[in-house]
Structure 1
């Protein structure tokens, strides 16, 4: 199975250790989504923007660990997204984003460059 990561799970980010057993397949840009800054990690929701991400092949135990990390509190829900590498799961934010800073450039790695 494959997963799309767009923030703290990306290479050289704070939670990238979760992807240690994954196989990096490549970078990807998804359209139809917006990226928001939650502080230590981001949120993606359906919208009119684009989001820069990475696609990995992972095993079922890694997916279960990520589900426990991301979906247990209801903060995120997994959605299946088409990529050049095949369908991949992506965690989509489920809470309101009013008042959060939108990263209009769509790249978590460049968040410091955005107003």
Structure 2
């Protein structure tokens, strides 16, 4: 363990040359839970950003809608969904997204991971948080809570709704 801490200290002292996610501790209880539903899922092009993160299983998110933006999906909180914006989104003055009333879908299918605080900050960079996506602390359908990246309704107004809540490989 001391050897890994030494390597982590060396890595922290060097300027980062890439935005790739660094592996987290092997302890599955260390870090923050993050629900992913698009290009970060297994088999998708950005999954390498979760290298070393603990996979906690497949989960579903209710109270939100999933839209196809072409190269990536975007989830938006549905009417009545309770989303708590992350401090970074609140500091930027971003409001919680609101969906269109009456436009309901199945739960959004995704995967749950546990990432380090540093890994979460790197995911914020990848997701363009808080400009493109806001990071919200939400309850999943199984009762657990996780960080979820959500867009805003105006960003998806011309996008196709994925009524089954499942993002597929393109």
Fold-level match, TM-score > 0.5? Answer: yes
Query: TM-score interval w.r.t. the shorter chain?
Result: 0.7 to 0.9
Q: 1:28 aligns with which of 23, 35, 59?
A: 59
Return the TM-score normalized by structure 1. Answer: 0.87
1:84-114 CA-partner distances (Å, limit 9, x unpaired): 48421000013511111111111002x77xx
Q: Does residue 101 of the first structure (1) align with residue 164 of the second (2)? A: no
Q: Which moved more, 1:4-13 or 1:71-80?
A: 71-80
- If each structure's strand is expressed as a fraction of its own residues, which one has the higher value? 1
CA RMSD of aligned residues (A): 1.8
Max radius of gyration: which structure?
Answer: 2
- In structure 1, the gaps of 5 or more residues are none
Q: 2:70 aligns with which of 39, 45, 59?
A: 39
Count matched residues: 111
User: 2: distance between equivalents of 1:4 and 1:59?
Assistant: 14
User: 2: distance between equivalents of 1:85 and 1:55?
Assistant: 13
User: 1: distance between equivalents of 2:131 and 2:44?
Assistant: 23
Return the TM-score normalized by structure 2. Answer: 0.60
- In structure 2, the gaps of 5 or more residues are 1-31, 79-103
TM alignment of 1:57-72, pairs within 5 A: 57-72=114-129
Runs of 4+ in 1 over 4 A off after TM superposition: none
Which SS does the other structure have where 1:108 is aligned?
coil
